[in-house]
Amino acid sequence: MKTLRVTLVKSSIGYAEDQKNTVISLGLTKLNKSKDHNDTPQIRGMINKVKHLVKVEEIG
């Protein structure tokens, strides 16, 4: 299974509350911090919701 490395590159301050909660659910708490997730449809949907705040890299 592929792994995705998600990095928070822009603050969620000033964005809707549901987008802030999505960033937290992805495990991203500080700028430039990364978290690895399995490539599932649920994670892809969360990433798509906050794609303007994160950078995604495929690993393996």
Residue spans per domain, the chain: 3-59
What are the backbone dihedrals phi and psi of residue 18, each rounded to the nearest 5 degrees, phi first?
-65, -30
Residue position matching structure tokens 């500080």:
30
Residues found in the chain:
60
Whole-model pTM: value is: 0.92
CA 55 to chain centre: 7
Q: Are 7 and 36 in contact (CB under 8 A)?
A: no
Task: Please tell me the predicted confidence (pLDDT) of residue 1.
Answer: 83
pLDDT along the chain (60 residues), means of 10: 96 97 97 97 98 95
The order of strands in the sheet holding 54-59 is 34-38, 3-8, 54-59
**CATH number for region 3-59:** 3.30.1390.20
